[in-house]
Structure 1
């Protein structure tokens, strides 16, 4: 697993785990704020980007969590905070279930304990686009599920660049379907009460892909969690509204 460690030498570590796209670059709006206080561990998830390779049948969130442990072991980091977006939040939950001693503070963003039927409907639509029209159409449709309409209207050129990059570096249909299968199979509801890591559950009310109430349920099930909800920002609120998100996460990770 290729990874990068940047930020403040000798400080506590924070692992950043992206969503379905898997790219470490997703966290660019957070890097400067986190690097000022922490060692930041970022990596493209297995099957994507710098860690591209064919994924096996039955690929699971548990295997993704094991990849995090592999990275931490290689970096000589015993314990780290963890910030995960959507699927990345599930990886954090699995890390908490399987390796609780490795997890410090935990921030799942627009995540869930068990995928909602609404989200599955969205994935069905996206898979339909992929299978009927191909990767270019899938990537072109992706901003509709990630962003709010005002953001897309104001950042049309930026989105065009991202779509071109995403098409050129597409992770592959089989890998994508296996990663979607992994998040659909994941269910941590029965184990939430045993996850005691201090947790800030982050949600956005106008998220089209993941109902904010899924995060509300997650926070209610975790014994040491609190919920932080923003009114707007869509599924990619870390991109659309980075300043309030960064402030809230830094205050939490620093123990405020």
Structure 2
């Protein structure tokens, strides 16, 4: 079983499960925990091969699928007897949560999808193709630093870049390659995944400077009945780090609304 940690406020409180992206770990949510603990029980997971899950998963398989990774989280929910939970995810973690919504929709009360990935644009496809060409000869940290800089290029994204690079250093080359293989045919995979919209309330929180992923998310949300988009100013891909106070305010307000904790209207993007 993957490594996880809980913060329990009480039986009367609803659960929120945090899912990080590729190369990160549950530590990326350090700016959310204090605020969220006041309102919810919290489940933090380290995806397979990341954080402390490397010590819990035993010998890793040669390849992973998004479904494998999603089922890891479903198993944790079953183990902790969590009947349903709100999810907060960032970057590639948003794909995992949307797969859980397909595999076990009864487990999800609502979804907060930050820096969501719904389609790779041409620049990101070229970047990934280049990575696939050189991944066996170039140290993975060179590639990861390049990806981090391309996705989060501005000076005010420095903290987000540094955080993800620091976490990625805890991966090994083989683990990086396993996760990198998930990018094969990812646009076709996402197109199939997003064809059907689950009847689950979803809030997409995007930075106005997330130029690689924002346009496709705007298009996706415009076609959905149960989704809203909130765009944060002066913010890049990792919105929970770039603008933590505003991210916490918006996301907690949305979840409390879904939990019956009063009305809350997200400002339109």
TM-score normalised by structure 2 residue count: 0.81
Alpha carbons 2:200, 2:226 under 8 Å: kept:
yes
Structure 1: give runs of 5+ residues left out of the alignment: none
Give the Cα separation in 1 of the matches to 2:111 and 2:173. 31
Distance 1:136 1:118, change over 3 A: closer
Is the Cα–Cα contact under 8 Å of residues 19 and 87 in structure 1 kept in the other structure? yes
Q: Compute the displacement of 1:94 (Å).
A: 0.3
CA shift for structure 1 position 16: 0.6
Range with greater deviation from structure 2 (135-144 or 232-241):
135-144
**Could you tell me the TM-score, scaled by structure 1's length?**
0.85
- Contact map agreement 1:115 1:184 (CA 8 A) in 2: no
Choose from 201, 204, 214 the match for 2:204. Answer: 201
Does 2:107 align with 1:92?
Answer: no
C-alpha distance 32-125 of structure 1, shift in aligned 2 (>3 A): farther
Spell out the pairing of 1:238-249 with structure 2 (5 A cutoff). Answer: 238-249=240-251
Runs of 4+ in 1 over 6 A off after TM superposition: none
**CA gap 1:112/1:27 in 2 versus in 1, 3 angstroms:** same
Map of 2:252 onto structure 1? 250
Q: State how many pairs are aligned.
A: 250
Instruction: State how 1:1-256 maps to structure 2 within 5 Å.
Output: 1-10=2-11, 11-52=13-54, 55-125=60-130, 131-141=136-146, 143-151=148-156, 159=162, 163=165, 166-167=168-169, 169=170, 171-186=171-186, 187-190=189-192, 192=194, 193-208=196-211, 210-255=212-257, 256=264
1:21 Cα deviation (Å)? Answer: 1.3
Distance in structure 2 (CA, Å) of the matches to 1:149 and 1:201:
22
Partner secondary structure for residue 14 of structure 1: strand
Stretch deviating more after TM superposition (123-132 or 41-50): 123-132
Equivalent-residue separation in structure 2 for 1:87 and 1:22 (angstroms) = 10
- Residues in 1 aligned to 2:252 and 2:244: alpha-carbon distance in whole angstroms: 12
Q: For structure 1, which segment, 212-221 or 34-43, has the greater mean C-alpha deviation from structure 2 after superposition?
A: 212-221
Pair 1:143–1:104, CA change in 2 (3 A) = same
Match of 2:48, SS state, is coil
Relative to its length, the structure with more helix (as a share) is: 1
